[in-house]
Amino acid sequence: MSPRLAERGAMVAPVVALRPNSGAANPSYTAPVATPTQQMFHQSSIRARHRRRRVLVMLIGAVLVSFVLAIYFGGIALLVHLLIDAILLAYAMALVQHQRMREERLKPIDVGQMHTEPSRSGSDLWGTASGSQNRP
């Protein structure tokens, strides 16, 4: 331990080998290797995320420029500004919908909750659908 660490009261933990020092690699210690298809899909999703970010930044820039032009010129420039605002709003709503669908797709499924409701017979379903009460 260095003297400076000792002055600060630092404790030194013993070093523990996490892997055995054997020549052969143990398969339990190796990282899983992604297939070329998985790597390609990962790269395409990263490119799509960057593309969406670029489009969003460009739309925000267009909104700012059109706002300044609408103040300066008025008239038709104001209509152009409102059109670009509508495009930005639609794009933002599409991004939110895409994000929600992605989160729903990646959300883990709780199998225990799938079978908690008691099953009904076909006649019971037809009876409740038509509005009649269950009869003995």
pLDDT score, position 46? 87
Q: SS3 breakdown of the chain: % helix, strand, coil, rounded to 5? A: 65, 0, 35
Give the predicted TM-score (pTM) of the model: 0.52
Residues 91/55, Cβ–Cβ less than 8 Å: yes
Per-residue model confidence as pLDDT tens for the chain (136 residues): 555 555 655 555 556 666 655 555 555 555 566 677 777 767 888 888 899 999 999 999 999 999 999 999 989 999 999 999 999 999 999 999 999 998 888 888 777 666 555 555 555 555 555 555 555 5
pLDDT score, position 4? 59
Q: How far apart are the first and last CA of the chain?
A: 83
pLDDT score, position 67? 95
pLDDT score, position 105? 85
Calpha distance 96→100 (Å, rounded): 6
pLDDT score, position 94? 95
pLDDT score, position 18? 65
pLDDT score, position 85? 96
pLDDT score, position 30? 54
